[in-house]
Amino acid sequence: MEKRVIAAEDLYKLKSVNDPQMSPCGTKAVYVETSIQEEKHHYISNLFLLDLKTGEKVQWTFGEHRNTSPRWSPDGSRLAFLSSRSGKNQLYVMSAGGGEAKALTEEHLAVSQPVWSPDSASILVSLALAPEDTLEKAKEEDKQPQPLVVEDMRYKSDASGFVRNKKRQLAVADAETGKLKLLGFREYDCSDAAWSPDGKAIVFTSNMTDDPDQNLISDVYILSLDGHDLTKLTNSNGFYGHPSWSPDGKYVSFLGHEKEYLGATFSKIWLSDRETGELSCYSADWDVHISDAAVADFISGSVYPGLIWTEDSQGFYFILTDQGNTGVYYGSLEGQTVPVRFENEHVYGLSVHVQSHTAVLGISRPDHPSDLYFFDFSTGENRQLTSINEAFLNEVELSVPEAIAYKAEDGLEIHGWIMKPAGYEEGEKYPLVLEIHGGPHAMYANTYFHEFQMLAASGKAVLYTNPRGSHGYGQHFVDGVRGDYGGSDYTDLMSAVDYALNTYDFIDAGRLGVTGGSYGGFMTNWIVGHTNRFKAAVTQRSISNWISFYGVSDIGYYFTEWELGGNLIDDFEKLWHHSPLKYVKNVETPLLILHGEKDYRCPVEQAEQLYIALKQLKKETKLVRFPEANHELSRSGHPKLRIDRLNHIKEWFDKYL
């Protein structure tokens, strides 16, 4: 059967598998399978049980809701998970033998991050409460309009909207009765919690400084559940998260950094010796980022596992980012580190059975969207466990990227990929679209990208790179963009285009397009204000004016200072110098502007300013606003709007290229 090319609407046919969790016995795994209900345009996530020996798969939850965060009880008898079936995420528990699930929390509460106690009797959860709320009854929102009283600088979030004085709180739920008990600290946000092996203490993260608006940090604390003694493990000088205990209780591990390069700092491994109180950085000499920095538009809901300790407390497994890939490493307390699974792929999920050193991994590749794999770290045994998109992959033709490396203007080596258009024929000429990722401290990777495949299917070559500022290529590299937005990062991208034109004779130099979102949107705006070599451009959820961004973004006041090295009060001209809006008179490239109306990261006024300025100058432009969409539109937004967005991009490039 002849394969067809992919379309934006194929997003409805794709499924993803995520958050695998191996059972305590190591013979089974539960995972989340997510799809999109096309008629109603909404996401469905259900839990599936997988027998790791036979490969048999059994669906455990049903319905058209989001069932997520499955967690086995340590004794293996029950499974806790979250479900949105009542409208908000509630905590449910079901028998490991299957059957009906029981709700443990009330409908007026929305909970997250379930963690079983070592004795399988309690479940730790996170929830948001205002000071006047109680566990029995959260304050009901008045249906009449009410003024929003703001006293903090960080009063809104792109993920959750206006905070309204609510704080993330920790509570313990009885696994039988569901009775909740708050752990205190109502005036602070507390999250990322884990139990001590003996169940007598909890480790968590919080910012308990006097002025958290200005003191942007995250500390690690231990709370004794007996005497409610609180011990701080870090020094209020950086960002730390993903805490966990060694099984013998001798160490608390976590990831983070001391803000040496502010938001561009690599995440490292830290160990707190509970006998001596000594805090040490395990990976101080490593020039890699301990986390998953890969960006894509298909895999959502990934849960980074932090460090996974072995049963003997002598080492741990973790995911790191390097050279366009993410993979699994093992580190021993003696300092030995070895890659146990590192290939040209994106490992986005990891669960390890620490007794047998076997694992279930969630993996994506450019031509293979999402599946789970069994891996034995001792023997190297590797088996694919799921084939959730097999029918789809048998039906469509996907473009397989070719890795490239080229020299920047200053000789620095830059890494990227190029995709040939679907139906490529030798001797033909094709348009090229340059894609620019957001962040900028993120990384394009060997992972599936629906937007790229759609553009290739429409007859275009796709070029995407990791210019300086990207993760995966060393601390100096990721720090290289700070204070220089529109400088070497811009020339890195232009060098990529030059390399592609000089290397591949199938690219038509007269039909070049460019697009990107967030930082990639800023750079798209910058590019069309500094060169006319592109015949079409699409800017998405972008920054056009750093001066207004400073005050309207949920991260504006500190992100601007961290990334540009200036603030609104003292460095007005510097902010304007780096603003694409300053160069709007130079724009000759037809520019499509895409923006979500509920984007608090890069608020929609950034798009409005750019659009009105271009229209006033009678430039070729169009603005498309997506209702109720935030900064995550392309990844986890409303399915119909995601499809609409992709088709607007395709149609704009079809028209002008």
Decide if pLDDT at 548 tops 60.
Answer: yes
Q: Are residues 453 and 399 in contact, defined by beta-carbon separation less than 8 angstroms?
A: yes
- pLDDT-derived band at 185, boundaries 50, 70, 90: confident
- Residue 124's closest CA among 134, 113, 132, 135? 113
Residue found under tokens 């959860």:
125
What does the alpha-carbon distance between residue 125 and residue 546 come to, in Å, rounded to a whole number?
38
Mean pLDDT of 95-102: 88
Decide if pLDDT at 134 tops 80.
Answer: no
pLDDT of residue 536: 98
Helix (H) or strand (E) holding 173: strand 167-174
pLDDT of residue 137: 67
HEC readout, 21-88: EECCCCCEEEEEEEEEECCCCEEEEEEEEEECCCCCEEECCCCCCEEEEEEECCCCCEEEEEECCCCC
pLDDT of residue 142: 57
SS3 223: strand
Q: Are residues 199 and 207 in contact, defined by beta-carbon separation less than 8 angstroms?
A: no
pLDDT tens profile 429-476: 999 999 999 999 999 999 999 999 999 999 999 999 999 999 999 999
The CA-based dihedral angle spanning residues 602, 604, 606, 611, taken in that order and rounded to the nearest 10 degrees? 150
| Distance separating the N- and C-terminal Cα atoms of the chain | 31
What does the alpha-carbon distance between residue 98 and residue 287 come to, in Å, rounded to a whole number?
46
pLDDT of residue 145: 82
CA atoms within 13 A on the CB side of 375: 22
DSSP state of 10: G
**What domains, with CATH codes, occur in the chain?**
84-134+158-187 (no CATH), 399-656 (3.40.50.1820)
Q: Which of 96-100, 391-395, 411-415, 638-642 has the lowest mean pLDDT?
A: 96-100
pLDDT of residue 141: 58
What does the alpha-carbon distance between residue 346 and residue 502 come to, in Å, rounded to a whole number?
30
- 631 is known as an active-site residue: yes
Active-site pick, 415, 631, 638, 648:
631
Q: Are residues 538 and 652 in contact, defined by beta-carbon separation less than 8 angstroms?
A: yes
How far apart, in Å, are the Cα atoms of 88 and each of 63, 94, 127, 176?
15, 19, 11, 21
pLDDT tens profile 153-179: 999 999 888 988 889 999 999 999 999
- pLDDT-derived band at 140, boundaries 50, 70, 90: low
> How many residues are given for the chain?
657
- 518 is known as an active-site residue: yes
Query: Which pTM value belongs to this model?
Result: 0.96
pLDDT tens profile 521-530: 999 999 999 9
In the chain, the amino acid numbered 347 is V
Residues with Cβ within 8 Å of residue 247, at least 6 apart in sequence: 197, 309, 310, 311, 312, 313, 354
In the chain, the amino acid numbered 169 is Q
The CA-based dihedral angle spanning residues 603, 608, 613, 615, taken in that order and rounded to the nearest 10 degrees? 150
Burial 229-247 (b: 16+ CB within 10 A, else e): eeeebbeeebbbbbbbbbb
pLDDT tens profile 360-406: 999 999 999 999 999 999 999 999 999 999 999 999 999 999 999 99
What are the respective helix, strand and coil percentages of the chain, to the nearest 5?
A: 20, 35, 45
DSSP state of 313: S
